[in-house]
Amino acid sequence: MKYHIVLSRAFDLESIAQNAQAGKSPCHVMWEASQILQAEIHQPGKHLPVQSDTLRALLMGNKEHWALARTLSQQLTEDSVVFCTGEDIGIPLASLCGANKKRPKTAVFIHNINRLRGRLALKLFQVQDKIDLFMTYTCASAEFLRDYLNLPESKIKLFLEQPTDITFFTPGKTSPTKTRPIIASAGLEQRDYRTLAAATQDLLDIEVKICIASPNAKATKRAFPLLAPKNMSCRHYDWQELVQLYRDADIVVIPLFENNYQAGLSTMYEALACRRPVIITKSPGIITELEKAGAIKTVPQGDAHSLHESITKLLHNPEKADNLAQRGYDLVLKHYNHKIYIDKFVEQISSL
């Protein structure tokens, strides 16, 4: 069998691998997995879209995804095993390859499909018979796929392992220039920094530092306060600055809007890998499980008062904060890291 990995976004994977080896950035798990599987990696943006690609993109993905899928549908055979990193490329590929008599075995990672556009695409392109394995991080997504597409359990894989690079995100010393307690946060996907601002605006003896960068989302007006408090700063951090921000943080807070696909997990696991206490908006799934394990603290969505209380209690009880950080760190080392993720991923794709 010949293995293929199809990415939703284009990356300079060789440079990422070189930087990761030099300790300048985390690794890309798909590059690492491709080396084990001897898989060919395909990325959007290299193929010229046609009009039909643009029309199909109204329902799923973008025209570059469809152009790539159209090209691959003419190359892949029944001897191919294909993994797609998201539904934005996976549904186009499965739809077009599924029209072939001898289609490849196809696995797709599902991130955020339970919305109008996603539901329409699933029905219109009839991918339940064209995708051999639906992978997802969340029980809610797995249940939705099973019920909406009437899928057997054998076609759904709940993949709880996480791609957090624990050789890059590690505990370390705080910056010598740190003078006050720091509340840190990062990311843009479904973030509710207005609530964080409201919860911390009167804590004038602390700094709130936010890394406004995300591979999966853009900044929205509702995410940020109209006027940031004097103790809050927001900017882009490069990878090495980000890991130092986690190490400097007394608490990492991840405030989220309500969502059905568990946003914020990457930031949460990165902070836990740096052995920092985490407060995150409560939601079903792995966040609830980690709270039960005593690894994180959760607060209700949009509740600035509860968030304020949780922050001040941890700041005033460093022993409790340290115990929280240690439990989270232990779980990341044992269960939620890139080494286990790559092993499980390779095993799963090989089984196809």
pLDDT score, position 219:
67
Three-state helix/strand/coil letters over 181-236: CEEEEECCCCECHHHHHHHHCCCCCCEEEEECCCCCCCCCHHHCCCCCCCCEEEEC
Q: Is the dihedral of CA 230, 202, 274, 214 positive or negative?
A: negative
Rounded Cα–Cα distance for residues 132 and 155 (Å):
6
Is residue 304 within 8 Å of residue 273, measured between CB atoms? no
| Residue 212 vs residues 19, 98, 221: alpha-carbon distances, Å | 22, 39, 13
Residue 145, judged by CB atoms within 10 A of its CB (0-12, 13-18, 19+), counts as buried
pLDDT score, position 213:
79
Rounded Cα–Cα distance for residues 171 and 169 (Å):
7
| Residue 264 vs residues 190, 267, 286: alpha-carbon distances, Å | 8, 6, 11
**pLDDT tens track of the chain, all 352 residues?**
899 999 999 999 999 999 999 999 999 999 999 999 999 999 999 999 999 999 999 999 999 999 999 999 999 999 999 999 999 999 999 999 998 889 999 999 999 999 999 999 999 999 999 999 999 988 889 999 999 999 999 999 999 899 999 999 999 999 999 999 999 999 999 999 999 999 999 999 999 999 997 766 676 788 999 899 999 999 999 999 999 999 999 999 999 999 877 899 999 999 999 999 999 999 988 999 999 999 999 999 999 999 999 999 999 999 999 999 999 999 999 999 999 999 999 999 999 9
pLDDT score, position 215:
67
pLDDT score, position 262:
83
pLDDT score, position 344:
96
pLDDT score, position 264:
93
The strand pairing partners of 84, in sequence order, are 6, 108
